[in-house]
Amino acid sequence: MPHSKVLSTGVLVRDVASFNAHIDVVNVDPTLSTPVAVEILDWGPDQLWDKPAPVPVTPSGPVTIGPHTHQSFISLITQSTAQPALVLALYEVRITFPDDRNLVINCFADDGKGGIVEGNTVLHKGLVEVL
């Protein structure tokens, strides 16, 4: 099994206009399907936080994306999962997939009315490899 690659947006300060995190993954390989897992982490409201909590993402878990196929992942990012009485303040998107696969990944937030929130947009070239 090939080594996994993990890409991250880094920790983002959630713009108050952001309603959903929206991650688009395109498998540009002409023949191979690719398993992809998207997770969103709530880094809490504090300046120092070492226990990020997962935020539910749909679809969840590893999803196989066929050749020349697009898959969207969506997550409500209005309420903290780390501290449910608070709004979500800081979050990170991580995408895991085999490192020998050719994907294009873009992460952005929408305002719930179809508009894109520029401050919470990280395009493929801005993602950072971690782990």
CATH number for the domain that contains residue 50: 2.60.290
Where is pLDDT greater, at 69 or 49? 69
The count of residues in the chain is 131
pTM score: 0.93
Give pLDDT, residue 120.
97
Residue-range definition of the domain harbouring residue 31: 4-130
Say yes or no to pLDDT of 34 above 90: yes
pLDDT at 27 over 70: yes
For residue 129, pLDDT over 50 is answered with yes
96 pLDDT above the threshold of 60: yes
pLDDT of residue 93: 98
Tell me what the mean pLDDT of segment 5-28 comes to.
Answer: 97
Q: What is the rounded distance in angstroms from the CA atom of residue 50 to the CA atom of residue 30?
A: 41
User: Residue 100 corresponds to which amino acid?
Assistant: D
**Over pLDDT 70: what percentage of the chain?**
96
Q: Please tell me the predicted confidence (pLDDT) of residue 131.
A: 75
Q: What separation in angstroms does the CA of 72 have from each of 20, 75, 101, 109?
A: 12, 10, 18, 12
Cβ partners under 8 Å of residue 122, min gap 6: 9, 10, 12, 93, 106, 107, 108
The pLDDT, as a whole number, for residue 1 is 43
Number of domains in the chain: 1
Look at 47 and 3; give whichever has higher pLDDT: 3
